[in-house]
Structure formats: C-alpha cells, structure tokens
Structure 1
Amino acid sequence: MKDPNATEVAGHASQSASVTRKADRPLRRHLASITGGSSPASTLTMINDWALHLASAPDLQITLAQTSYAHWVAWLGFVARGCPESPDQHPIAAQKGDRRFQNAAWTKPPYAAMAQGFLLLEDFFDKATSEVPGLDPAHDRAMTFLMRQMLDAMAPSNFLATNPEALVRTVETHGANLQKGIAAFLNDYQAGWKGATPARTQQLGLDVACTLGKVVFRNHLIELIQYAPKTGKVHPEPILIAPAWIMKYYILDLSPDNSLVRYLTSQGFTVFMISWRNPDPEDATLGMDDYLTQGLLAAVDYITTVTGAEQIHSAGYCLGGTLLSIAAAALARDGDERLASMTLFAAQTDFTEPGELSLFINESQVSFLEDLMDAQGYLEANQMMGAFQMLRSNDLIWSRVVRSYLLSENDTPMNDLMAWNADGTRMPARMHSEYLRHMFLNNDLAAGRYQVGGHAVSLRDIRIPVFGVGTETDHIAPWKSVFKVHSLGHADVTFVLTNGGHNAGVLSEPGHKHRHFRVHTTRDQDNALSPEDWLETAALEEGSWWPSWAAWLSRHSGPKGAPPKMGRKLADAPGTYVMME
C-alpha cells in the first residue's frame, strides 16, 4: 500500500527507460515538425498502391467511365431544365448529416448547379476509391478518407465567390463580415489554431467543474478529488472514475445540470475522480506503466485505505477505460479483489476494428510521430485534436471556416462542452508511443501479450460484473469495437448503446431531449451475440441511460449507511492540475 497522505511521489517510474528511439535522427525530427507528424512515405505508399491496382482493373475503369458519363448527363439535364428546386428532380441528394447546402440560396441557379455538380463529383470519387480489386483493405479505406478530405476542402461552400449565403451577408453588411472574418483568422493564426480557451467564457470551479469536493491525494501524475455526498446515506462501495488524459477530467462534471458526478452523488454514492496532470517536456519518459501505478492503482490504494471500503466500483472513459481494463486484469491475476465492478464508457479493449482513427496509424506513421514527439517531449493537444477533427471535417473544420471567416458568426457564446473541448492536454512521448504500438499496432491487450510488472495480463481473468457503454455515431471508439468486451472476459456484461457521439452520448443526463438507448445483459454462460444480433435482442428505451447504470450499480452494492469521512483537504475542487496550461 502507498502512504495515503503522501503529496508527492519522488521521481518518475521508469525514468531510466528512454522514449522509443532507435537512433538520433535530427533530420527526420525536423521533417516531422514541418509535416506535423504526418508521414509522407505512408501517404505516397497508399496512393501508389491504389493507382497501381486501379490501373490493373479494366472492368472497374469501364464502370467508372459509365458512372462519369451518367453523372455528366444527369447534371446537364438538371441545368437545362433551369435547376428545378424540387428534390425529386435533383440528380443526387446530399448524404444524411451534410448541412453545407441547406440554405435556400443553394436551390437557385447558378448555385444549385454548383452544389449538384460537387455532390456528383464526391459520389464518383467515392466509387473510384472503394472496393478496388486486390487493394489492401487498409489502403482502400484510407484512400477513400483522403479523397474525401481533399474534396471537403474544395467544396463551393468554402469560398466567398461560390457561397451565395456569404455573398448576401457581404452585401447586407457592406463587407463588415469579411473584415471581422479576417480579424478572426488572424487571431486564430496567432493563437496557433488552438481556438478559444474556456477561461474566456467558462470559469473552472464556477461555470464548469463546480461540484463541491476537495483534492484529498496528490502525486506527480494525479490529483484525486473526493466529492461531498448529497444524501444522508450512501452505498459502502465508493465509485472511482478514471477519465481519459487526452483532455481535462471535467467532461464528467460540466454544468450542474449535466454533471455525471453530481448525479451519482445524488443517487447515494461516494464519488472519487482522477484529475490528470498536464505533462510538460520533463515528463517525456512517463509511460503507460506510470499512468497505471501512479494513476489508477494509486487511487485504488488511497480510497480503500482511507475509507475502509473493502471494494470499490470503477469506471473509465475512453483511454481511461482502456487503462482501467488493464488494471482490472492485473488485479485479477494477482488475486486482488478490491474492484466490485468495472464500467467502460466508450472505451476499447480490442483494437482490431478501431474505426477511422486507424487510418492515421501504421508503422510508418507511428515512427514519424515518434520523431516529432522526440523533438518536443510530448504530443501537443492541437496536433492530436487535428486528427479527430478530420474524422468529421465538414462539421468540425470547414463549417467553422465558413461561420467564422465568411459569415462572421464567431460571436456565438461558447457552451460548456465547447469550452471543455478547447481545453486540451498534451500526451507524454513515451506513453503515447507505447499506447499506439501496444494497442493500435499490435493489439497486445486483447491478445494477452500486454505486460504489467514483467508478466502478461489477460482480460479473461476479469470476472467482476461489467457495464459497457457505446454510442451510435462514435468516430473515435466505434460502438462495435467497444462491444468486443463481451468476448474478452469471463464476466456478466450489461451493454448500453445510446444515441449521440463519443462525448454527447455519454453526457445523457435525465431530462435531455431526444435521448434513447438499448440495453441488454449477457451472462458469462450465455451464447455469444454478434453486434447485429444484439441490436435485435436489446430492449429499446427512451430517455437517459444514467438511471439504468445507477440501478445496476445499486444492485451490485451493499446496503446504504453513513457516508465515509472526507479525506484531508489538499485543495478545493477542481484542484490545481486542471488549471495547468
């Protein structure tokens, strides 16, 4: 057991281990800094592979020629008829969720012709980069993605001369929108494209991260926050939440009306939250093992020692959930029974199908990224968020360009989720390299090769109840990938699939409009279900999934009694680490 009153851990574990570097490569590091960590070799290899296989597929070339001809004839007919406004007479419809051409001005010539021509072009190149015979499936998906990114940048909605809404705004404001747009562009450029900071519109501890509590434990890597109980009696098992350290912890404690922490304390639970330190260049050698021992396991030691609880409930979000599954497997291997249950929010344990994020991750790309991190000591938040934004470039990049620089709608107040999303953190070089290699490249955890304490751990050793949450439109941790937790352990798994994305689906407080979810429990002895079969079996319910989770926790908890005493205060919540820039 670690000393629960310790305030600092001397030194960093594994300081002697170097970041994954085979040799000093200053020129590659310089090139990596120019490209932002993107490997030119990886991109060129993918394009060459696609081009060669397309060149050796005459049948597909003929099909593409026929598609091009059909699109051209349909577009010419549409223009010859005067670009009728009826959607039934459009050559092609925009995909679901595409809001670029929703304004009424896009239904009138010549802008209707531009919009339809562009959508037909997108359709053609989607076919040209999909299902090319013999092409490596990874290159097939990556080429489709790359072409989509190129076309997204060329959309007529992105340019003043071809955006009717922007032209009208320019006339109405006598060019003031462009003047403000240029000022916004310059501000973003000078800020390094990091966007607005939450301090500008949301104050930590007052507007967000404002649930009452105090920091009761601190070491070099974490502050552990204990929240004040809101009920006279609580279950004897505290809840430890491990958020991802890719962003600040308070995604689960945003505004009072959508704070998961506040909700749990109102349901009779004692809640502890890990707040991760924002690493600097001196933390470059922090690895996954440090995050496990100084982070999650240190918190478990403190909670069980100070509260006297024999067991605790554990919950992990995204990367924090992956780390939690490693901890649960290690504790199970060692016969440590302090975890009563494990909950995973949009967290992957098997990375064979990690979604579009895998398009950025291969040996060439990871090696190049390691060179970039070697020069910096960490991966910058904006460098990492750029990859996430590209997964939804229309919504997260180009729509913002249009709103801010062409329409001058950059005065929209920042809500709590936007504030959190702008409050990024860095990733230590060694940890990020180990995470990419052990999980995305080698899938060591699911394969039983990942080592803790010099010995491999297996998720099959986990026999505590598991509650998993996937979200329908998650681009970071696709729900079918999260669903794989069913086949990795010997545990009863209750799985929830909720509408929304990686963040909005988890923030599903009671009373939130237009929320629904599916839920089903698969016992360890039950026959396995595929994701598709699970969809047919799971019960569809309206509203928030939070009450279902709270009820599940209650069923796996002891009877309520007096709450444990608050630990010795080191600082008031939200603490000091969350304030680190």
Structure 2
Amino acid sequence: MEAQNLNEPHLPTLEQMQQWTEVMGRAQQLLLEQAAGATGRALPFNPDAVARIQTSFANEGLALWQRFLDSGGMLRDQAEPPPPSSPAARKDRRFADPAWSNHPFYDLIRQSYLLLSDYLLKLTDAVDGVDPKQKAKLRFATSGMLDAVSPSNFPLTNPQVMEKTLQSGGENLVKGLQHMLADMEKGQLTQTDGAVFEIGRNIATTPGKVIKETPLYQLIHYTPTTDKVLETPLVIFPAWINRFYILDLSPEKSFVKWALDQGISVFLVSWKSADASMKDLLWDDYILRGQVDAIDTVRELLSVPSVHTIGYCVAGTTLAATLALLAARGEADKVASATFFTAQVDFSEAGDLSLFVDDDQMKLVDQLSTSGFLDGRYMAATFNLLRGRDLIWNYVVNNYLLGQDYPPFDLLYWNGDTTNLPAQWHKNYLTQLYRDNQLVVPDALSIDDTPLDLRKVETPLYIQAGREDHIAPAESVWKATSHFSGPIRFLLAGSGHIAGVVNPPAAGKYQYWSCDELPKSLEDFVADAKETKGSWWPDWAEWIKSLGDSTVSAKKGGRVPGKGSLKALEDAPGRYVKQR
C-alpha cells in the first residue's frame, strides 16, 4: 500500500478541519485557564505585568485563530512565510520540516505551542518578591517542562514521525523501541554509534608513554614531533569529570598533537575514574597528590625549574587553588604560566549549574553514592538537562520516534564516556564553590592547613572563555580576571564549552575576540575587542613563546618518553582512561 504524503493538498477534509478547530480551541482555553489561574494563585506576580502579558497573549491568540479561519483550512503555499508577528516565524530546529508550516493541523499545533511557551515564560518572569535564585529555578523548570511537552516529541503531533511511520509501516517505531530499551538497560541516553570508536585505535592515538601511575592518576609523556622543543614543558590537567581525550580526539582535532607540532614538550594527567577505594578523596588530594605531584614529577624528570600548565573546566578551578597554595608556600616559581580553558574561580554568576546545589540535590547525591562514589551517568544527565532541547529531546525524536541509525561522531562518543566522581569531593565542590563561592574569599579555604588567597598569585595567566558556553558562562569565567595579581590575557572564543576549546586551526571554524590590554569589564572587552577568524590556538602558542624561553634538543634524555629516570609503564593512552 502506497504511503500517504502528509503534504498532499486533498488533506484534510472539511469535517476534519471543523473537528480540529473545536478540539484545539478547547485545548488552548484549558491551557490558558491553567496557566493564568493555578500558576497565578501559587506565586506572587506583579499584577500590572501579568495584565499586560495576558492581554498580549489573548490578542496574539485571537490573531492566530483569525489567520487559521481565514485560511479556510487550506494548506499554505510552501513559498509563503508565516506571519512575521507570529512566534512561529522564529527559527526553531524542532519545527524545520515544511509540514509544520504548510499543513494546517501541524501549523496550528506549532503556533499554539510557541504562543503558550512565550506566555508561560513571560509569566514566570513576572513573578515578583522572591529570591533571584528561586526565580531562576522557576524559569529553568518552566523552560524544561515546555521543552518536554513540545509537540515535536510525540508521534501523533510530529509530521515527520507520522510520515515515516506511514512510509515504513511502523518499522521506525519498532526500531526506536529497541533503541529505548537498550538505553534503559544501560541507564544512559545514546547519542552516537559507540562501536565505531576504540580508544587508542582511532581516538586518543597521539604516540606517547605512561611514565607514572598513582592511585589517582597516570602521567602520559607524549613523543616529540620536532627536533627542538621549548625548555619549559607543558603539563595538561583535563577535568576528571570527563575523559582526557577530548584534547586528543583524532590527529586532525588533537590539541595535544598540535602543541607537540609547535615544539612543546607535552605531559598530560589521565585521572582514574573513581571507585570504592577512592571514597575518602577530597579536593586536597586532587591538588596535592594530583596537580602539585605531577608538576614536581615533570620538573624533576627534565631538571627544569618550572612548567607551563593548562587546566580545563574543574581542573582549571583546581589549578587556581594550586597556584594559590604554591604562592602561599613561596613556591610560585614552579609554574611559569597557567592557562584556563573555560574554568571558573568566582561562582557568583555560574549559570544554570548553580541551580543544582540546594539541600535536596545534596540529599540526592548521598542517595546515588552509597558506595562512596557518584556514578558518572548522573553528571552526564545533569549536563544534558542544561541543554535538554539539544541533548535530550533531539535524540528522543531521532532515536526513538524516527528510529534513525546512530551517526558516528567522536565528540558525542566522548560525551557519553562518563567517569565516576568521589562523592564527598563532589559535594564539597558543589557547596564550597558553587553555593558558597569560597575560593575567591581570602583564607576561606585551606589546603594542607595552608589558607588560600588568589590575590597572592602573580603567575602569568591566559584565560579562555566560550561565548556560548552553558556550563561555564563567559560572564562567570571573566570574573577570574579580578582575583589575581599577575599579568592576564583574556580571550573569548566562538562556540561553547567543548567546540570553543577543541577548534584546530586547520578546520577554519568560528572566531575569537581579544584585546591588547585587559579592560575593566566584560562589556568593555566585547566593545573594544578585535575579532579574528578561525582558531585561537595560534594566539595561545604565541603567548606561551612570548614569555621567553630557550629551546633544547627533543631527542636527548628525559625528553624522550621512557628514556629518562622514569621508565615507560605502557603505551599511551594508558589503562586508566579505558577503565569503566
């Protein structure tokens, strides 16, 4: 039987249109009464603002119905755009299929949903007299609820799903059910075909050796690719919330390989995913037995006074504490420079993640970590919630409703390769930093009985932020510039938390903004900054070399992995990154 095309002009019949009109009218009225009634009674609204919002909603709703009635239930010409005043005129990838605009039934559903979404979000903003954090929680919850109930997420109200179901005889739903059951069994949403990738074979392939292993980390020394290297080596600290190979996805995307090609000796810390043996680990351990230990190890191996360092995300936050600790101990000269990849030290404007630090969330962490460590799937779900439309519901539609095959995508494979976290450390991080913002308060935190004061840090810093970062917002990353005493170069990269960092020059993607002198505010920076097309990596390499350094042979002694005082234990990427 030939599949029925949802865009054929003989659909729908007059009787169907009359029924749809009645049903949608009743549905819209129920939603209006619920939003304006129950929600309005539960929260203290600004009455003037609510009156304006309700009037606008009513007027736009009437205009929507008038346009629908004027169309006579006829299909819209594909060349005819939706009315510019309508919320449906907005670009929204969920409704990109032409049927959403051309078919009267789906067009009405779409525009009604967008109109109601606008109304509820504006109503949320009209809440008055509550704590700003509570208001932010309300807006986040409202936005998440609206994303969840989008008509694109349900088979009967998604024209793409209906057409695919008719064409395949329902095979897409059977395949989607298989996908969903498999995800339920593993407790995690699948975003890509994991069978395509293998660590050490087609990702994390940069040659090197593991030269040290502790209960907390493995230290990887990468094989030089140039005859001469900077005398001062580089030690990279990835976030232990994820696997390190985000910086070594493939030779074309690898920051590690690119840094080697710039004539830099590269060492990288591969953190161990937490298990029950790590239940007592705290932030002190990641600082003292992690970062400080790795810095001292590399210094001793190469007989150099100092190292360059990079800290990504939470490892950047930790690197700031490490610098403060070394400064307090009179050992600041162990670090020649520190680079922060999308890292926060001042959490006063930390974005939506700060909504997950209340008492209820802490109780949930306790419930999920009875063995002393937090399953990484919990953190993955939290990060996905921050962009639920793109990282959850997009895959619900594609994987479960359309039954599409998973595309091979190395970045998404990395995103799903979760790591476990020591539970007590994680709770302390959320409460002491995200909730109480203690790192920027002089002497509020101590490591090994040494009070931390970021103002004592005079190390040259390179602070990179992502313009569209939803995990470490640019506004939050910028705040670090006011807490240190040394020279700072701030750079704003295009894109977000991952793509803004992993942007190799050869790709020719995105752009970055920079200023020769550090302005007083992010607003001044944006106003004065020079835009440069492409990757910011060359800017960073130029900055590193501008600090002044001699070059040495890359072929002698400890510069060759495993040939110095620390012998090779195994080939990179090592066993820790493969442990689950």
TM-score range, shorter chain: 0.7 to 0.9
Q: Trace 1:129-278 onto structure 2 (pairs within 5 A).
A: 129-195=124-190, 200-278=195-273
Aligned to 2:347: 351
Alpha-carbon separation, structure 2, partners of 1:497 and 1:372 = 39
Contact map agreement 1:53 1:135 (CA 8 A) in 2: no
Alpha-carbon separation, structure 1, partners of 2:549 and 2:39 = 59
Aligned to 2:327: 332
Secondary structure of the 1:110 match is helix
Q: Sequence identity of aligned pairs in percent?
A: 35
2:533 maps to a residue whose letter is E
Mark the CA change 1:285 to 1:157 in structure 2 (over 3 Å): closer, same or farther: same
Aligned to 2:4: none
2:288 maps to a residue whose letter is T
Aligned to 2:545: 554
Secondary structure of the 1:375 match is coil
For structure 2, list consecutive stretches of 5 or more residues without a partner in the other structure. Answer: 1-37
Corresponding pairs, count: 527
Contact map agreement 1:236 1:557 (CA 8 A) in 2: no
2:341 maps to a residue whose letter is F
Aligned to 1:530: 521
Secondary structure of the 2:287 match is helix
Aligned to 2:311: 316
Deviations 1:293-316 (A, max 9, x none): 121111011100111111110000
Q: Indicate yes or no: 2:390 matched with 1:395.
A: yes
Q: Indicate yes or no: 2:428 matched with 1:434.
A: yes
Deviations 1:476-517 (A, max 9, x none): 000111011110011211111111110011011012243210
Contact map agreement 2:88 2:110 (CA 8 A) in 1: no
Secondary structure of the 1:469 match is strand
Question: Which of 70, 87, 93 is 1:81 aligned to?
Answer: 70
Aligned to 2:294: 299
Contact map agreement 1:332 1:461 (CA 8 A) in 2: yes
Deviations 1:82-105 (A, max 9, x none): 275633515523597631001011
Alpha-carbon separation, structure 2, partners of 1:70 and 1:382 = 45
1:222 maps to a residue whose letter is Y
1:575 maps to a residue whose letter is G
Q: Indicate yes or no: 2:428 matched with 1:423.
A: no
Contact map agreement 1:53 1:133 (CA 8 A) in 2: no
Contact map agreement 1:201 1:413 (CA 8 A) in 2: no
Contact map agreement 1:90 1:116 (CA 8 A) in 2: no
Mark the CA change 1:237 to 1:67 in structure 2 (over 3 Å): closer, same or farther: same
Deviations 1:8-50 (A, max 9, x none): xxxxxxxxxxxxxxxxxxxxxxxxxxxxxxxxxxxxxxxxx98
Alpha-carbon separation, structure 1, partners of 2:175 and 2:493 = 40
> TM-score by structure 2 length?
0.88
Mark the CA change 1:404 to 1:320 in structure 2 (over 3 Å): closer, same or farther: same
Question: Which of 515, 521, 524 is 1:520 aligned to?
Answer: 515
Deviations 1:52-104 (A, max 9, x none): 68446332332232133123212212212327563351552359763100101
> TM-score by structure 1 length?
0.87
Aligned to 2:11: none
Mark the CA change 1:374 to 1:162 in structure 2 (over 3 Å): closer, same or farther: closer
Q: Indicate yes or no: 2:60 matched with 1:64.
A: no
Deviations 1:269-311 (A, max 9, x none): 0000000001112311111111111211110111001111111
Alpha-carbon separation, structure 2, partners of 1:223 and 1:197 = 28
Contact map agreement 1:307 1:565 (CA 8 A) in 2: no
RMSD: 1.9
Deviations 1:375-427 (A, max 9, x none): 24222111111111111111111110110111111x23321101111101011
1:385 maps to a residue whose letter is A
Secondary structure of the 2:87 match is coil
Aligned to 2:573: 574
Alpha-carbon separation, structure 1, partners of 2:66 and 2:93 = 25
Higher relative contact order, structure no. (Cα contacts within 8 Å, ≥ 6 residues apart): 1
Mark the CA change 1:292 to 1:412 in structure 2 (over 3 Å): closer, same or farther: same
1:70 maps to a residue whose letter is N
Alpha-carbon separation, structure 1, partners of 2:335 and 2:408 = 38
Deviations 1:305-344 (A, max 9, x none): 1111111100000001001111011111111111000100
2:551 maps to a residue whose letter is K
2:70 maps to a residue whose letter is R
TM-aligned CA deviation for residue 209 of structure 1: 0.4
Mark the CA change 1:279 to 1:304 in structure 2 (over 3 Å): closer, same or farther: same
Secondary structure of the 1:343 match is strand
Mark the CA change 1:119 to 1:56 in structure 2 (over 3 Å): closer, same or farther: closer
Q: Trace 1:358-373 onto structure 2 (pairs within 5 A).
A: 358-362=354-358, 364-373=359-368
Mark the CA change 1:371 to 1:50 in structure 2 (over 3 Å): closer, same or farther: farther
Mark the CA change 1:304 to 1:544 in structure 2 (over 3 Å): closer, same or farther: same
Q: Indicate yes or no: 2:441 matched with 1:447.
A: yes
Q: Indicate yes or no: 2:338 matched with 1:342.
A: yes
For structure 1, list consecutive stretches of 5 or more residues without a partner in the other structure. Answer: 1-48
Moved over 3 A (4+): 49-57, 83-88, 93-97, 196-199
Alpha-carbon separation, structure 1, partners of 2:115 and 2:152 = 15
Contact map agreement 2:433 2:439 (CA 8 A) in 1: yes
Contact map agreement 1:50 1:143 (CA 8 A) in 2: no
Alpha-carbon separation, structure 1, partners of 2:272 and 2:89 = 41
Alpha-carbon separation, structure 1, partners of 2:90 and 2:448 = 48
Contact map agreement 1:194 1:382 (CA 8 A) in 2: no
1:443 maps to a residue whose letter is N
Alpha-carbon separation, structure 2, partners of 1:119 and 1:487 = 41
Aligned to 1:99: 93
1:285 maps to a residue whose letter is D
Aligned to 2:13: none
Alpha-carbon separation, structure 1, partners of 2:458 and 2:126 = 41
TM-aligned CA deviation for residue 170 of structure 1: 1.0
Alpha-carbon separation, structure 1, partners of 2:218 and 2:425 = 19
Q: Trace 1:432-511 onto structure 2 (pairs within 5 A).
A: 432-448=426-442, 449-511=444-506
Aligned to 2:25: none
1:149 maps to a residue whose letter is G
